[in-house]
Amino acid sequence: MKNIRIIIASAILMNFIHCKAQTYPLNTRMKDIAQGGYVKDLNNELNPFIGTYKATHQGNETTLYITKVENKLEEIPNKTYYMDALVVRYTVKNLSGVVLQDTQNDISNKFYSISSAPQENAVALFYPGTNCRVGYGTVFLFKINNNQLKWIYRPEGRIFVNKDEECPGNPDTKVYLPVTEDLIFTKQ
C-alpha cells in the first residue's frame, strides 16, 4: 500500500514538473516549443495594445478591436501548442458610414499576434486575409504612447495561381484594410 502511494505521489509530481517545463516566454523559437507547450505572455508585453482604435485612410474609417486571448490553440504541420496572443477584429466604413467590411462576429476572419518586441513597443500580427486569402500578410503595430498606435500592413503574394481561377462563394476580392505604412490609430 505504501508503494502505491509513493508511485501515485511520484506520478503527480512528475506531471506537475512536466507541465511547468512546457511553459515558454513569448518569442520562443518554434523549434524550441514542445508538442502541447504553452507560449505565455509572462511579462504582460501584449497588454498595452489592448483596446479599440480608429484611423481614417483614403476615405475609409478603420476601427480595430484588439483583445488578448490566453491559451489560443495553434496547429501547424507536425505540432500543436498553445499561446497567448492579441486577436484583432475590425470594421471598415466609408465616410458616409456604409460598412464595407465587418469582422467583429466572424470567428475565421481575424488576425493575431505572432511575435513581440517589447524593447521597441511593437508587435507583429499574421493576417490570414479574407475571401480566398485576399490580402494575407503581416501587420506591425508600434505603441507610440498610451493613446496611439502606428500601423504598417504588408500584404503578401498573389490572389490566384492563374488568371482563370475564381474565388468561390463571396467574389469580393478587395482589400479593405489600409495598405500603408505609418498610419496612426487613436484609442477610443
| Three-class DSSP category at 12 | helix
Per-residue model confidence as pLDDT tens digits over 158-184: 555 445 566 666 667 788 899 999 999
Inform me whether the pLDDT recorded for 86 exceeds 90: yes
The CATH number given to whatever domain includes residue 172 is 2.40.128
Q: How far apart are CA 146 and CA 125, in angstroms?
A: 20
Instruction: Specify the pLDDT at position 128.
Output: 86
Number of domains in the chain: 1
pLDDT exceeds cutoff 50 at 144: yes
Looking at residue 97, its amino acid is G
pLDDT at position 97 is: 95
The span from the CA of 187 to the CA of 25, in Å, is: 27
What would the pLDDT profile of 9-60 be if each residue is shown by its tens digit? 444 444 444 445 499 999 899 899 999 999 999 999 999 999 999 999 999 9
pTM for the whole structure: 0.81
Task: Name residue, grid cell 501548442.
Answer: 81
Sign of CA dihedral 160, 163, 165, 169: positive
DSSP-assigned letter for residue 108? S
Q: What is the pLDDT of residue 15?
A: 47
User: Which three cell numbers mark 108?
Assistant: 475565421
Range of the domain at 123: 2-187
